[in-house]
Amino acid sequence: MVCSASNISREVSAAATSAARGSRVAIRFAIQRTARQFAVLTCVSGTPAMLLAVVLGGVGWTTQVHAAACSASASAVVSRSTGGTCPLSVSLNQVLTLQYRVKNASIVDDPASADDGSPVSAVITAGSVLAATLAQQTAGVGGTALPGTLAFVPVCAVGSTGGSLAAGDPCDPASSQCGTGACGCLTSQPGVTCAANHLDPNKVSVTVGSDVEFLPGQTLALATIRVAQELLVPLPAICGEYFTRLDSMGDVLSTNDPLCTNTGSAGARASANLYAPAPPCGDGVVDAGEACDDGNLVDGDGCDSNCTLTACGNGIVTAGEVCDDGNLTDGDGCDANCTLTACGNGIVTAGETCDDGNATDGDGCDSNCTLTACGNGIVTAGETCDDGNLVNGDGCNANCVANGCGDGVVGPGEECDPPDAEICNNGIDDDGDNQIDCADPDCAQRITPGCNATCRSTPSCTPILKDPAIIVARAPLASGRHDFVRIHGRFDAYTAIDPTADGFVFALSNESGEIFRARLLPGDLQLRGTRRWRFIDKTAKTGPGIRDGFFKVKVDRTGRGPLYNWVFSFSAYGDLSGATVPTMTTQTYLGDDVAVLKATWSGSPGNWRLTLKDAYGTP
């Protein structure tokens, strides 16, 4: 049965009555061109009917027909969509764009209640074919139809790559010009294809190759196509009156929604605005929305292929850029200098305290984008380790020196740390200033214990105390004999001393360095009684002797323990020619203690004498 526009309402009403009685009625749509009408509605008996109302721009049309379970709504007229872009004039052969949007508003539930008629989920099944009629209408339904004014233009689909043509370029469906993309629709739902209808040049076949699913009431853009203006026609007064139609050639929509007790099906319909695409970039004319147009689509020549000036942030990756996401936002994956968001790209982003644009450590901002400092996890100058924290004793101390003697942290088994620059009792010029031990001002001025190379405490230098004593040096003596020195003094000990086990050392120096040093080895001093130790080497008077020129050495212990006062005296032969200035320092070593006296001697080179008055300012 064929229905004219004047009897559609009557047929829909009849369909509703029939559906209420449980009979099966299908409503199928097809578009036919007539001189006065844009569309003719054809009604055919069949399966339970449901119609999908379709709209563009959010304007829908639906008159619901209720049945016992799920039903289809229908409409007596096609509501016109509004909006879109209409050019001030349409040129001959101008390419326009059509988008067919289908809304699932016609398959509804019918729970036989006052709130029935809500849309349910549906699907346009794979294998369905819809027909797009390329006719125009200059007025409302029943107005003048303008068939044959539009022609379908197959184009490469959006996303096409690798072909000889770009997305949107007209193409030959039989060729591979589009590379990875299809030639037909500009855009479409997955599996939907567009092709010219060879039986009717005024139609386009839209084939659904994969199920297209709709949520209740959802609108989907089924397909977007390009058409060309073949005839010049007057510009419509209303943009929404300038449209084409898409209809199913049968029942293509179905549902198995749980709200339905039956499987329903219906046809699909869509109207579409006709709108002109934006003027193309690359035509040499700067149009609205373009910052430039140099007549080509070459990137990096000052005006890029999107008609923006070549620059970071215009969305086009050009020379010197690693990325360009079309903005100047940092931390979004592509930063404002068009480098990937990462440490070392010169942009400080989340998780970074600095970023100097390189991966060089020790330049103020290290390769992990933290400030150069102990505790940042990067070993730089002055550090032997850096474990990323400032905790002592975990292998790398808070001063970024590995655990051990010399790390500046007193660790297990250590009495002190770090070792002194000049260790005051080892007989070595540790700091290279030509002054050794307590003759070095670093030691002479210390009033607290020092620290040796094994991180053991060393006593501070102890002074040689006033005593009825005399220090004499003569040089040279008679021909064939050595220079001679004799010293007597006493000191208070800071540590336990065993002269037999420790030995005995004497050193004489001045500002130029050490003049004389002699040493007794452990075992050389022999205990006499309980408090006296003695050493004698008569060969030292006529030769080098066995212990650096020591002739006689006496050491006596006085006072009470555990630490004692110690009295010493010795004479020795050797080369004292370096004693050329009156200010000299004497050092006496017993155990770990060093007794020291710096004073100005009387006399002259070769005959020096140090009296109590010289040493202590007393007669």
Which tens digits make up the pLDDT trace of 306-353?
A: 899 999 999 999 999 999 999 999 999 999 999 999 999 999 999 999
Grouping H, G, I as helix, E, B as strand and the rest as coil, residue 45 is strand
Reported as a single tens digit per residue, the pLDDT across 371-411 is 999 999 999 999 989 999 998 878 888 889 888 888 888 88
pLDDT of 27 higher than 70: no
Q: Which of 41, 37, 49, 38 lies closest to 8, judged by CA?
A: 41
pLDDT value for 72: 57
Residue % of the chain over a pLDDT of 70: 72
Does residue 22 fall inside a structural domain?
A: yes
Give how far the C-alpha of residue 60 lies from the chain's centroid of Cα atoms, to the nearest Å.
49
Assess whether pLDDT exceeds 80 at residue 13: no
Average pLDDT, the chain: 75
The answer to whether position 385 is within a domain reads no
Q: Which of 37-51, 109-123, 359-373, 537-551 has the lowest average pLDDT? A: 37-51
Structure tokens belonging to residue 553: 């050495």
Q: How confident is the model at residue 547 (pLDDT cuts 50, 70, 90)?
A: very high
Name the residue with higher pLDDT: 427 or 285. 427
Q: Is 222 part of a structural domain of the chain? A: yes
Residue where a domain terminates, one of 231, 249, 275: 275
Beta-carbon contacts of 41 under 8 Å, excluding residues fewer than 6 positions away, are: 3, 4, 5, 8, 11, 29
Domain presence at residue 65: yes
Better-predicted residue by pLDDT, 441 or 111: 441
Higher pLDDT, 370 or 404: 370
pLDDT of residue 61: 28
Output the pLDDT for position 107: 67
Overall number of domains in the chain: 2
Q: What is the mean pLDDT of the segment spanning 191-205?
A: 86
The answer to the question of residue 242 being in a domain is yes
* Nearest-angstrom CA–CA distance, 44 and 1: 6
Identity of residue 224:
T
pLDDT at 17 over 90: no
Name the token pair of 279: 């003027």
Q: What is the pLDDT of residue 140?
A: 46
Res. 54 pLDDT band, cuts 50 70 90: very low
Overall average pLDDT of the 193-220 stretch: 85
Global confidence as pTM:
0.40
- Min mean pLDDT across 36-50, 447-461, 576-590 is at 36-50
Q: In this structure, is residue 309 part of a structural domain?
A: no
pLDDT band, very low/low/confident/very high, at 483 (cuts 50, 70, 90): confident
| pLDDT confidence tier of residue 467, bands split at 50, 70 and 90 | low
248 vs 214, higher pLDDT: 214
Determine, yes or no, domain membership for 349: no
pLDDT at 156 over 80: yes
- Whether 53 has a pLDDT exceeding 80, the answer reads no
Residue 136 pLDDT more than 70?
no
Task: Please say if the pLDDT value at position 150 is more than 80.
Answer: no
Buried residues in 68-101 as b, exposed as e (16+ CB within 10 A): ebbbbbbbbebbbbbebebbeebeeeebbbbbbb
Residue 153 lies in a domain: yes
Domain that holds residue 146: 2-275
Domain end marker among 275, 293, 316: 275
pLDDT (tens digit, 9 = 90+) per residue, 238-282? 444 455 677 776 677 777 777 776 666 666 666 665 554 556 788
pLDDT for 139 = 44
The model's confidence at residue 564, banded by pLDDT at 50, 70 and 90, is: confident
The confidence score (pLDDT) of residue 278 equals 56
Q: Which residues sit opposite 192 in a β-bridge? A: 208
Burial 530-546 (b: 16+ CB within 10 A, else e): eeebebebeebeeeebe
16-30, 218-232, 341-355, 452-466: which has the highest mean pLDDT? 341-355
Strand-pairing partners, residue 585, are 509, 598
Pair of tokens at residue 204: 């386009």
283, two tokens:
């035509």
Mean pLDDT of 20-38: 24
Alpha carbon distances (Å) from 481 to 250, 542, 572, 575: 136, 6, 12, 10
| Last residue within a domain, chosen from 217, 242, 275 | 275
Give per-residue burial for 306-333: e unless 16+ CB within 10 Å, then b: bbbebebbbebbbeebeebeeeeebeee
Pairing type for strands 253-255 and 122-124 reads antiparallel
